[in-house]
Amino acid sequence: MACDGERSYGYDDYKEAADWLLDHIDQKPRIAIICGSGLGPLANTLEEQTVFPYEDIPHFPRSTVSGHAGRLVFGRLSGKACVCMQGRFHFYEGHSSSTVTFPIRVFFLLGVEILIVTNAAGGLNDKYNVGDIMFIKDHISMPGLAGQNPLRGPNDERFGVRFPCVSDAYDKDLRNLALKCAEDLGYLDFIREGVYCMVGGPSYETIAECCMLKALGADAVGMSTVAEVLVARHCGLRVFGLSLVTNKVVVSYESQERANHEEVLQTSLLRARALQELVTHLVGRMA
């Protein structure tokens, strides 16, 4: 697939995609879930499914990463109308930030009010173990700090304001509800709360970069999520985010460990069930 690094979309593109979907679904979803690397099986648990490959939806981008199927799955989770992205878009695939976040504005136009984002991430915090689930309380955007903010460019007031505040990007009430769900499920041993740092990828971090990110206060590092969250907050969606810690980053020059995508996918498989149960429970308890 050609690199679309300069691609941007206008209101009519989002609207066409949303109207096409509305013509093909029975019920509008209130909750959207983005499945991270290897976390796609969550979408398979939806009941009364209607599935659309991305290529069938007007203007929808294509997913190119292993572990990302490339389908929108509509259906019911815990009785609530949801839509799941089975496969997301990343900058490292060559997509523009407009492409990466295209689905979010489509969800907004569908009437979605809550976004659940999941990702696979490397653990920076020394206390974290592989398989831990970190509820995201805040983020650091390395691309954003360098000017690659998805809201850069002309602002469309139909989506949101020019200068959105993001000190409350990750909804505290949703996080507290998720903590209660984790407690009910007996998962507290592997639940954490921390700061996600987004880097551009696709190369994993050098040892010096990992040491720097730790010093900056990040607990986990990954290559997604932040752009989606910024665009979601811009248009007023409430956000709950979680990272599955699929590997521990390497911080010693003596270490023989090497970050690799296979380990990421394997760990995702091991925690797939717990993640599904947690998200299902959380959606069930949302007002």
Ligand X SMILES: O=P(O)(O)O[C@@H]1C[C@H](O)[C@@H](CO)O1
Ligand Y SMILES: Nc1nc2[nH]cnc2c(=O)[nH]1
3-state SS, one letter per residue, for 190-213: HEEEEEEEECCCCCCCCHHHHHHH
Nearer to ligand X, 59 or 261 (CB): 261
- CA-CA distance, 95 to 43, in Å (whole number)? 24
- CA-CA distance, 86 to 33, in Å (whole number)? 9
Nearer to ligand Y, 82 or 220 (CB): 220
Question: 103: cis peptide before it, omega within 30°?
Answer: no
Residue 6 to residues 9, 53, 100, 191, 230, Cα–Cα distance (Å):
10, 24, 12, 38, 19
Q: Choose, from 9, 17, 32, 37, the residue flagged as catalytic.
A: 37
Residues 176-195 that bind ligand Y (CB under 6 A): none
Nearest distance in Å: CB 70, ligand X: 12
Among 148, 261, 276, 286, binds ligand X (CB under 6 A): 261
Q: Does 222 bind ligand X (CB under 6 A)?
A: yes
143 binds, among ligand X, ligand Y, none (CB under 5 to 8 A by kind): none
Q: Does 223 bind ligand Y (CB under 6 A)?
A: yes
β-pairing, 133-141 vs 71-77, is: unpaired
The reply to whether 8 belongs to the active site is no
Among 43, 83, 84, 120, binds ligand X (CB under 6 A): 120
Residues 235-274 that bind ligand Y (CB under 6 A): 246-247, 249, 259, 264
Nearer to ligand Y, 9 or 89 (CB): 89
30 binds, among ligand Y, ligand X, none (CB under 5 to 8 A by kind): none
| Closest to 212 (Cα-Cα) out of 127, 142, 263 | 142
| Closest to 151 (Cα-Cα) out of 91, 63, 235, 37 | 235
Q: Does 31 bind ligand Y (CB under 6 A)?
A: no
Region near ligand Y per CB under 6 A, out of 17-25, 173-181, 184-192, 197-205: 197-205
Q: Does 213 bind ligand Y (CB under 6 A)?
A: no
Q: Is 263 helix (H, G, I), strand (E, B) or coil?
A: helix
Binding-residue pattern over the window 109 to 148 for ligand Y, x denoting contact by CB under 6 A? -----------xxx--------------------------
Q: CB nearest ligand Y: which residue?
A: 122
DSSP structural state of residue 259: -
Contact between 43 and 86 under an 8 Å Cβ cutoff? The reply is yes
- Residues annotated catalytic, as ranges: 37, 68, 90, 92-93, 120, 223-224, 247, 261
